[in-house]
Chains A and B, each alone.
Chain A
Amino acid sequence: MKTLNEAKQNEKQTGRYGKDFGGQYIPETLMTELEKVTKVFNDLKDDPKFKAELNDLLVNYANRPSLLYYAKNMTEDLGGAKIYLKREDLNHTGAHKINNVIGQALLAKHLGKKRLIAETGAGQHGVATATIAALMGMECEIFMGKEDTDRQKLNVYRMELLGAKVHPVTSGSMVLKDAVNATLQEWASRSEDTFYVMGSAVGPAPFPAIVKHFQSVISKESKQQLQSKEGRLPDMVVACVGGGSNAIGSFADYIDDPSVKLVGVEAAGKGVDTDRTAATIERGTVGIFHGMKSLFMQNDDGQIDPVYSISAGLDYPGVGPEHAALAQEGRAQYVGITDDEAVQAFEYIAREEGIVAAIESCHAVAYVEKIAPKMSKDQIIVCTLSGRGDKDVASIAKYKGVDIDE
């Protein structure tokens, strides 16, 4: 019998997930380039030399494997399931984004590209891309919504420091979705020497598959690490979901283990039932946008709705097609966490564990706070801390009414 993951492998050839999610819906101008990206990925992903090259950078540059840390204080305080944190925040550049960026930059290099472009929301993907561009001696331009350049000034400066040019995007709602539009437009204008490093598990095929492939290192490691610490699989894996790159990476190696419950945590903003939310799986409907068929926040006419979250990394009106399929199949469960709950978790994990985690990741932490006490002490949760929270300190202070000079 085919396992679920193998079935997906087959579907990947046409870039479809579940019944009909995924696909390629993108201007003709980019299709030839997309064919090249598909080919180089298929040719190289299992190539021993490429894998060695990738692994060398992951280990010696990005600081992998990341720790699987037993959160003793949280476990004792919450009084239920045993909590392990997968510490992607300890990677070089401070988030899971680097895993995927190293992989895609190597693909770009093999295609002979000299220039990397990328969208970014919170700035973590932009920083990771700028970092690799610096390392590999490539040009780098980052597109970031004006709203986000304002609330993530520190990351803007980091990117510039790394030699990247940051373009504040002033069209539309000036956030992540608009940054994706601008990056697609830039790629359509200049693809000859340029590789679009897609930051999340979204976009036209093969990008969702590429991002999953390079992020699956998270679950491959956590599975082995937990095996050596506890001798068994976790009962639950929890990760935050915007487009869904850290979540798909955190789930990947467990999808065929039916005993492992997979939970994706979306940003509910002011509440799942309000207009100020980014909980796409709970609230969205099927649509076609940014190159893929998936779930989107949109009106009855198919116009994309503005979304909202305190987190610049999660306020995306869509979600990766594989998450839409996992939700449809019931293999993964998706829940919403509000701004208030995420901010509370930001403070909680700082005080309990001495970890300042990214506000995105704190959505996952907040769910763990809710669910762990309801589970028994012999159960295990693995929660991915997708990034570190230094970038968020000033805006969380502001949210709490404290004015600090950045």
Chain B
Amino acid sequence: MSNLSEIFKNHKAFIPFVVADDPDFDTTVKNVVALANAGADIVELGIPFSDPVADGPVIQAADLRAFDAKVRTKTVFEIVEAARKQTDVPIVFLTYLNIVFKYGYDAFLKRCADLDVSGLVIPDLPYESRDEIVPIAEKYNIDIIPLITPTSGHRIEKIAKRASGFIYVVSSLGITGERNEFFNGLKDLVANIKQYTDVPTAIGFGVHTPEQARTMAEIADGVIIGSAIVDIVAKEKQQAPAAVGKFTKQIREAVNSVKQVPVK
């Protein structure tokens, strides 16, 4: 188990997401550092995939830009290596399972441990297949962050009971991308999860404004923002680090305004 859970103890966490090598190596390194300096608690770095079935058009387009920059799995590790010279912000990867499988589960997780990557979010790894990788991840103290969605229902108990790091609570059905409406049972969903675990929860999928971030931070222990930041990177390109930093400060303030109910 990593130290990820600790992060949520003192305040509501903000977890921004960028895609590795979008639009290039140096910008991604600068983005990670800028996010960390602007108050991100954890940076979620997406490893591009040819067929990102859980992702909407914004992240799909970012993956394509990264492929234009000739991203390889080893490039992603090199980006973290470069960022590690400037920041010790906790990092988790968002990756589809095949990337990890092809690299070799053990080799991939060892490399993560060497670079102080704390966890992996794997959207196509459901509870049923977790034994594929979790025992190896445990060996390296890396968390495999589980996802719980509005459709999880009776599955919540078994997922929550074996969770570590934090639980990624999916705000709505479907794929990633900015939204103005969320599943209206989010409060109950989080309460339901809390019955079974002390592992903190962070809500993601569709959150894109400071107001929404505040609402989500009221419900859960943290909030994840992906597409909105990736969209800034798409527009600002090499100028993105300053812009994503500015955005992160706004979200940070919004999230900080929520009164902290300490996690047990």
Contacts and interface: CB of A to CB of B under 8 A. Distances in A.
Interface of A: 23-33, 171-172, 177-178, 181, 184-185, 188-191, 287-289, 291, 296, 298, 300-304
A50 B137 CA distance: 45
Interface stretch (B12-20, B29-37, B45-53, B242-250): B45-53
B239 interface: no
B33 to A, nearest CB: 25
A27 B73 contact: no
A189 B174 contact: yes
A188 B244 CA distance: 30
Interface in B117-147: 123-129, 146-147
B126 A25 contact: yes
A185 B126 contact: no
B113 to A, nearest CB: 20
A266 B123 CA distance: 31
Contact of B51 (A172, A188, A301): A172
B126 A27 contact: yes
Given A31-B127, A32-B155, A288-B124, A181 B51 contact: yes
Contact of A302 (B101, B123, B146, B151): B101
Given A172-B51, A185-B174, A188-B175, A287 B155 contact: no
Given A24-B126, A25-B129, A298-B98, A32 B152 contact: yes
A29 B124 contact: no
B229 interface: no
Interface in B100-126: 100-103, 123-126
Nearest to A285: B102
B53 A24 contact: no
Contacts of B72: 301
Nearest to A189: B174
A29 B99 CA distance: 21
Contacts of A185: 53, 174-175
Contacts of A191: 151, 173
Contacts of B155: 28, 31-32
Given A28-B152, A32-B155, A287-B101, A172 B127 contact: no
Interface string B87-103: 00000000001111111
Contacts of B189: none
B126 A31 contact: yes
25 contacts: A23-B128, A28-B123, A28-B146, A28-B148, A28-B151, A29-B150, A29-B151, A30-B151, A31-B127, A32-B152, A32-B153, A185-B53, A185-B174, A188-B54, A189-B173, A190-B173, A190-B174, A191-B173, A287-B101, A288-B101, A288-B124, A291-B124, A298-B102, A302-B102, A302-B103
Contacts of A177: 51
Given A25-B129, A172-B51, A302-B100, 11 more contacts: A23-B128, A25-B124, A27-B147, A28-B147, A28-B155, A29-B151, A29-B174, A31-B126, A288-B97, A302-B101, A304-B98
Contacts of A24: 126, 128-129
A232 B159 CA distance: 53
B149 interface: yes
- Give the 3 A-B CB pairs with smallest separation, nearest first: A302-B102, A189-B174, A302-B98
A32 B126 CA distance: 11
Interface in B172-227: 173-175
Nearest to B49: A303
A196 B248 CA distance: 39
| Interface hub of B51, B101, B123, B148 (most chain A Cβ within 10 A) | B51
Nearest to B71: A301
A184 to B, nearest CB: 5
A296 B50 CA distance: 13
A135 B153 CA distance: 33
Given A25-B129, A190-B173, A303-B49, A288 B54 contact: no
B27 interface: no
Given A188-B173, A189-B175, A32 B129 contact: no
A32 B151 contact: yes
A33 B151 contact: yes
Contact of A29 (B49, B100, B173): B173
A28 B98 contact: no
A26 B126 contact: yes
Contacts of B154: 32
Contacts of B124: 25-27, 288, 291
Given A177-B51, A288-B97, A28 B126 contact: yes
A288 B50 CA distance: 13
A21 to B, nearest CB: 13
B127 A287 contact: no
Nearest to A301: B73
A300 B148 CA distance: 31
Nearest to B205: A29
Contacts of A32: 151-155
Q: Which of A171, A172, A296, A302 has the most CB of B within 10 A?
A: A302
A178 B64 CA distance: 14
A172 B50 contact: yes
Interface string B54-92: 100100100000010000110000000000000000000
Nearest to A173: B50
A248 to B, nearest CB: 23
B240 interface: no
Contacts of B57: 171
Given A189-B174, A301-B102, A302-B101, A289 B51 contact: yes
A307 to B, nearest CB: 12
Contact of B174 (A188, A287, A289, A291): A188
B209 to A, nearest CB: 22
B99 A27 contact: no
A23 to B, nearest CB: 6
Contacts of A172: 50-51
